[in-house]
Structure 1
Amino acid sequence: MKKETITVFIVLLAVLQGFAQQYHRTSLGIKTSAESMDVEIQFYSPEIVRVLKSPQGIPFKKESLSVIKKPEATQLGISQQNNLVTLKSKAVQVDLNLQTGKVLFSNLTGNALFTEKDYGTQFTPVKDVNRNTYAVRQAFMLDKDEVIYGLGEQQNGKMNQRNQKVYLRNENMKVCIPFLQSIKGYGVFWDNYSPTTFTDNPQETSFDSEIGDCSDYYFLLGGSGDGVIAQMRDLTGQAPLMPLWVYGFNQSRERYKTQNELLEVVQKYRNLQVPLDGIIQDWQYWGRDSMWNAMSFDHVTYPDPQGMINKVHQLKAHLFIVAWPGFGPLTNQYAEFKEKKMLLDFDTWPPKSGTKPYDVYNPVARDIYWNYLNKGIFSLGTDGWWLDSSEPDHINIKDRDFDQPTFLGSFRSVINAFPLVHVGGVYNNQRKTTSAKRVTILTRSAFAGQQRYGANTWSGDVRSDWQTFRKQIPAGLNFSLCGIPYWNTDIGGFFAGSFVKGGGAKNPEFQELYTRWMQFATFTPMMRSHGTDIPREIYQFGNRGDEIFDVQEKFINLRYSLLPYLYSTAWNVTHNSGSIIRALFMDFAKDKQVLDIDNEYMFGKSFLVSPVTTKGEKSQSVYLPANASWFDLWTNERITGGKTVTKATPIDVMPLYVKAGSIIPWGPKVQYAQEKKWEDLEIRIYPGGDAEFDLYEDEGDSYNYEKGKYSAIHFNWNDLTKTLSIADRKNEFASMLHTRNFKLVLITPQKKFSLQPYSKTDKTVRYAGKKIEVKL
């Protein structure tokens, strides 16, 4: 090649490079401008990447309400080839087209995981009251057959959330979280709090929000369902541990009208010796609707609230009290919030009462709310909160209602975060008040990050019918897949008026529906009976010896037998970002048959649950995932997985299977969670595979576990040698058992199932905190 030719080539190359877009390196990644947008890639960790886009040159301030993680130092390799800049961490590769602003996520071998659509970011100028801002839209492209989960709790009966359009605005029975996770092992959180339309069709997958200064989303690479949830918890907060008693049985009604009525319920459970741990006081304990949510007891119907609470505790039960975000016009709270301009001026429940919600977005207002709640209720010694209407209820809706100013902007711009900040205010203030009692919140709505506030979300005022019941399974699973592990539902459905004429709780059709629903609730994070129209206490259905009474008692007792297993699973939620209810793909991702199963799930990592959701069902088909074998809980029959079996379903049987290679601690028969220590704990071993389990114990309440005051004992089963290893105990707490018996039972098809601990065990070992190996 001649010298002149070389010179021309070098000059041409320099010119071409001059046309290439430029970027600026930041401490978290890079910034650039493309397609009239400012674009920023921020690495919060090697696995978590934030993508931030905004109209070019328009300044804005964004402080996330959901994300609490501070970006960690992440080593990045950054390179550019023409208009493509590539950022690599030790976990993920991000390609940014400097010309179009398109972002593509891949694994380190270059296989594409998730991509934006070409020119998929759009900003449409809008007025948000008197502020100029945008409606913001971000579109992506998924693989044709890719399965996704999430979007919160939708009552659509779908497990796979593909091929639909969903309007995401929180309301009763609908929890809207703009989060999805893919079977490919990644998650995406769209960090926007305004009403948002999620769309998935063959052309695109998109989030389209009514208000937003920016397009702001997080890509989370987890590699599995558990991994994605772990990343979401890392980003938005870990889930604290509920007190042990919450995992027992909780009774409610809409509503107990006097303190005597409430106390009689607890006493009747004790007299019947049916287990009970929680009793829930719903609305109007304050009196008239004009005094709505006064956070004080009406002196006529509740003349001695302190005595009532003391009596509940004497009966070894715990009391939830309801509180709402709205206040009646005759309450002190209404007057103070109105004077300080901290009320939102739209109608909330109850109708025609003049009730208005407070500005939950204002931190001072949240403190005022707690001061009243603490003085009027918590200081008396109550145990948990029923934070109802946390969407909130919105009646007589007018478009201008959404223009209401809040501390953080228009109500429209932050509406979906209402439950997050409201629940967070109660949690944070109770924790400031005392660490002796764990915050326990039952609430009707949620948003991303709410798991960090000790909140257990229920599915709202659902109807009492079989179709609605069936939809609760995928609703709860998709909610949990958004990273929020605590979810439950009204046993029997809330609105049961259609069954009243047929005898209410004695109506055979309602008895069947309620009992099947209770069986399902036994295997959810919280087991709670509630509803209107028909009282649901067990004795309303008959007497001991009556079939429906006996079946309910059987499953309540089963719940208590599983408390050591459930409490240990809950510790895994807190300690290892685990989940209690688990979509089947989380444990059996290689089995394509499970990806869209919406009527089965895992309870912890050992129990496969198949609720009976069809009226009069005498048998049910159950798919047992492949690459495992299974034990029928009721018969101990062992079955190879990868096939569908038919299980007879008389009213006292819900199909339940235990994965071979499981260790299940089986609790004693009790009337309440902490009646007996686990000093003679039965350990059931389901052979057929290696197994491990961590038995967790602590004081049962208080936050001392955060200081390391707990006990964890690791069990390991070697299926080949039939040897159980019990490791040295980790950590300790003041009231723990220093020595105890473990009663070992090796489950075989020849052993008949026992709801209570077996009278005959295979071996009993004395454990004093040091490693033991036992051959069975």
Structure 2
Amino acid sequence: MQKLILMKKKLRLPMGEIKAELTTAGKITFFNQHDEVLLQEYVRNRKNIKEFCSALKVDAREFKSNLGGDFQLTMRFESNPNEKLYGMGQYQQPYLDLKNCTLELAQRNSQASVPFALSSLGYGFLWNNPAVGQVTFGKNITEWVATSTKQLDFWITAGDTPAEIEESYARATGTVPMMPDYGMGFWQCKLRYQTQEELLAVAREYKRRNLPISLIVIDYFHWPKQGDWRFDLDYWPDPDAMVRELDEMGIELMVSIWPTVDKKSENYQEMLQKGYLTRTEKGIRITHDFLGNTVYLDPTNPGARDFVWKTAKKNYYDKGIKTFWLDEAEPEYNVYDFENYRYHLGSNAQVGNIYPTMFSKAFYDGMTDAGQENVVNLVRCAWAGSQRYGALVWSGDIDSSFASLRNQFNIGLNMGLAGIPWWTTDIGGFHGGDPNDPDFRECMIRWFQYGAFCPVFRIHGDREPHSEPLGTSGGGLCPSGADNEVWSYGEEAYEIFKKYMLMRERLRPYITELMKAAHEKGTPLMRPLFYDFPKDKEAWNIEDAYMFGPDLLVAPVLHEGARSRKVYLPKGASWKDAHTNKRYDGGQYIECDAPIDTIPLFLKDGSELPVLE
């Protein structure tokens, strides 16, 4: 047991590099190894104790009973106005530093609550509670709220650098598997390949053009009914032959899995009877009505996880498909009335944020039991710990615009700091975008350049104009978006795309080393400048450039019409412009050219990465 140190009116408990001090009035304060205050509870309710003299009657820890059971929990801490806070998952907003933000602790399409915050004061804080709630990182108070829960549970760590804190957090919650080789290359996707022959024609064209491609994706509604989890043979007549041909071309195949189960599905009645489906507290048991009346799978039930995996194994995995797109993973309820849904583990209000983790676990457990190593599945949401189940998170159904690109820039960095190093976006955004529109082409080019320096390099989107459905049933019901291949945006864009696809290929050995660090230590591949340069105060203020591993600074162009931009080069290193070979001392801002075919890149301390051919 830890040694308790009794002080006057105080109890102190050393815990590694952290000490927790408890006063007789019940207030907890956390100190680092240098005896500096990291975090202390907010108490305004102790008239008899001088340091808390207040008539406000506000406690740090507050439980209020909910009608029907459990409690609403509020946890309050003192706020340092000069503190900067990062992590917490993905929220569609343009802020990297989350201080003075209020965040909903809930999962939505394009929002992933991963409640780990990294502080500039030298600590990391995990709100270890999957209940729906809210956190406010205010100037005057930090306040965590869970709307329905049974207990208070948080975890805190400290370190002299952000890397120490991240690695400590990774040891507690787990790291990603080692990314397989195909994960380092280019992934092709669109909404949606409607037939087997259409998909194979695209794959053959990539090979004919000698373009590097590692993976291609079959999106949703390739099935007869949601919840069947198998190919509709009217449109995908020979999946085994398709997988063989792709394998011969060296292209991995990914298949979309939705957790929605149509009431007309061949699996619905069995799943209903066995309790494998989400329940509603009120109203009709329909939780999603896209092209059918459907109910969500309940992955908090071990039997449900086993059922969906065994079905997918028989219909996909045994055909040679070894990676899955776990879509709708929040889940995306038609109405986000979080209190109206119930799972095997409890009410959605109490445990709902763990849903995407359990969805990932269903496939991770099944794939590893089948003998697969290095599992990776694309998932639209995550919670703390999702990474250890091979979750590659993407940022959901986002807008196709420069404003949206700027949001994704900050989201990607905060996801890495929240312990989710595998992250990507739909290059070009998801909603809209006409490949023939010159303005959208510019956005697409800039996004593509940025995407080449994300952990996974993946193109996707619902492009305009839409094509018509092919039929009136099964996989023919759903329309598709316009073409979204790299040759779909005109010759100028094609040559630029090709340049960055080849650049990504040359960097594969470097990216492999970054993936190894993520696997072994939890190190994010893309991280804010302060992660590698914590002693540079200005690096903590930079929100428009990042490090892609230890040797490459990436400064994407995030504004329409920009052909140059200012870049800060951190002190403590020398820098070389990867395009011009011009050298700079660190600790300064420079103005650099950024013509339409160029993303500013800088190599640290003489690194010789093969950025250019």
Q: 2:522 aligns with which of 577, 589, 605?
A: 577
Q: Which deviates more from structure 2 when the two are superposed, residues 175-184 or residues 276-285? A: 175-184
Deviations 1:657-686 (A, max 9, x none): 11114354x4xxxxxxxxxxxxxxxxxxxx
Letter matched to residue 158 of structure 2: L
Query: Does the 8 Å CA contact 2:5/2:13 hold for their aligned counterparts?
Result: yes
TM-score, normalization: structure 2? 0.91
Are the equivalent residues in 2 in contact too, given 1:333–1:372 (CA < 8 A)?
no
Cα distance in 1 for partners of 2:445, 2:270 equals 46
Q: CA deviation at 1:330?
A: 2.1
- SS of match in other structure, 2:203: helix
Per-residue displacement from partner, 1:664-711 (whole Å, max 9, x unpaired)? Answer: 4x4xxxxxxxxxxxxxxxxxxxxxxxxxxxxxxxxxxxxxxxxxxxxx
Q: Does 1:302 align with 2:236?
A: yes
CA RMSD of aligned residues (A): 1.5
Matches within 5 A, 1:259-658: 259-287=196-224, 291-345=225-279, 346-351=285-290, 353-397=292-336, 399=337, 402-435=339-372, 438-496=374-432, 499=433, 504-533=434-463, 534-542=482-490, 546-658=491-603
Conserved? CA contact 1:222–1:230, under 8 Å: no
Counterpart check, 1:112 vs 2:49: no
The answer on whether the counterparts of 1:600 and 1:610 sit within 8 Å (CA) in structure 2 is yes
Shift of the alpha carbon at 1:635? 0.9
Does the aligned pair in 2 maintain the 1:284–1:293 contact within 8 Å? Answer: no
Structure 1 residues 125 and 220: CA distance shift in structure 2, 3 A = same
1:638 to 1:351, Cα distance in 2 relative to 1, 3 A: same
Q: How big is each residue's C-alpha offset from its partner over 1:461-486, in whole Å with a ceiling of 9 and x where there is no partner?
A: 00001111111111111111011111
Which letter does structure 2 place at the counterpart of 1:378? Y
Deviating above 6 A after TM superposition, structure 1's stretches of 4 or more consecutive aligned residues are: none
Q: Which runs of 5+ in 1 are unaligned?
A: 1-26, 28-75, 667-753, 757-776
Equivalent in the alignment of 2:470: none
SS at match of 1:414: helix
Deviates more, 1:347-356 or 1:620-629: 347-356
Which amino acid counterpart does residue 115 of structure 1 have in structure 2?
Q
Q: Give the corresponding residue for 2:474.
A: none
Shift, 1:352, TM fit: 5.9
User: Which residue in the other structure is 2:62 paired with?
Assistant: 122
Q: 3-state SS of the aligned residue for 2:267?
A: helix
- Cα 1:576/1:193, change in 2 over 3 Å: closer
Q: Kindly state the Cα deviation for residue 403 of structure 1 after the two structures are TM-superposed.
A: 4.0
SS in 1 for 2:81: coil
- Residue 177, structure 1, aligned to residue 114, structure 2: yes
Give the superposition deviation at 1:645: 0.9
1 CA distance for matches of 2:159 and 2:393? 25
The structural deviation recorded for 1:349 is 4.0
1:184, 1:223 within 8 Å by CA — same for their partners in 2? no
The Cα offsets for residues 295-324 of structure 1, whole Å up to 9 and x where unpaired, read as 111111111011111111111100000001
Q: What is the number of equivalent residue pairs in this alignment? A: 575
Q: Tell me whether 1:102 sits opposite 2:27 in the alignment.
A: yes
Tell me, what secondary structure is at the counterpart of 1:176?
A: strand
Who is 2:478 aligned against? Answer: none
Task: Tell me what 2:477 maps to.
Answer: none
1:82 to partner: Cα distance: 3.3
Cα shift at 1:569: 1.1
Question: Which secondary structure does the structure 2 equivalent of 1:662 belong to?
Answer: coil
2:66 alignment partner, SS class: strand
Closer/same/farther in 2, CA of residues 336 and 172 from structure 1, 3 Å limit: same
* Structure 1 residues 510 and 113: alpha-carbon distance in aligned structure 2, compared to 1, 3 A threshold: same
Cα distance between partner residues in 1 of 2:252 and 2:16: 48
| Deviation string, structure 1 residues 569-590 (Cα, Å, up to 9, x no partner) | 1111112332201111111111
What SS does the corresponding residue of 1:319 show, helix, strand or coil?
strand
Q: Is the 8 A contact 2:86 2:97 kept in 1?
A: yes
SS at match of 1:510: helix
User: What is the DSSP-based 3-state SS (H/G/I as helix, E as strand, rest coil) of the residue aligned with 2:378?
Assistant: strand
Superposition deviation, residue 151 in structure 1 = 1.5
For 2:493 and 2:325, the matched residues in 1 are separated by 28
Match of 1:630, SS state, is strand
Inter-partner Cα distance in structure 1 for 2:342 and 2:439: 48
* Alpha carbons 1:153, 1:175 under 8 Å: kept: yes
SS in 1 for 2:488: helix
| In 1, Cα distance between equivalents of 2:520 and 2:376 | 18
Structure 2 CA distance for partners of 1:575 and 1:268, relative to 1, 3 Å: same
- What percentage of residue pairs aligned between the two structures are identical? 31
**What are the Cα deviations for residues 33-62 of structure 1, in whole angstroms up to 9, with x where unaligned?**
xxxxxxxxxxxxxxxxxxxxxxxxxxxxxx
Q: Take 1:541 and 1:165, find their aligned partners in 2: how far apart are those partners?
A: 39
Answering whether residue 5 of structure 2 is matched by residue 79 of structure 1, we say: yes
> Can you list the C-alpha shifts for 1:100-124, whole angstroms capped at 9, x where unaligned?
x211111233211111112311111
Residue identity in the other structure for 1:633 = A
The offset of 1:633, in angstroms, is 0.5
Write the distance in 1 (CA, Å) between the matches of 2:315 and 2:612.
43
Instruction: Give the one of 173, 179, 190 matched to 2:127.
Output: 190
2:497 and 2:342 map into 1 onto residues whose CA distance is 49
Task: Describe how 1:200-239 pairs up with structure 2 within 5 A.
Answer: 200-239=137-176
Alpha-carbon distance in 1 for matches of 2:541, 2:354? 29
Tell me the residue number matched to 1:721: none
Q: Deviations over 1:213-238 (max 9, x none)?
A: 11110011132211111111111112
Quote how far apart the aligned CAs of 1:405 are.
3.2
C-alpha contact (below 8 Å) 1:347/1:394 kept by paired residues: no
- Match of residue 717 from structure 1: none
Shift in Å, 1:402: 2.7
Q: Contact 2:579/2:612 (CA < 8 Å) preserved in 1?
A: no
The structure whose RCO (Cα within 8 Å, separation 6+) is larger is 2
Matched, 1:244 2:169: no
**In 1, Cα distance between equivalents of 2:201 and 2:313:** 26
Secondary structure of the residue that 2:191 maps to in structure 1?
Answer: coil
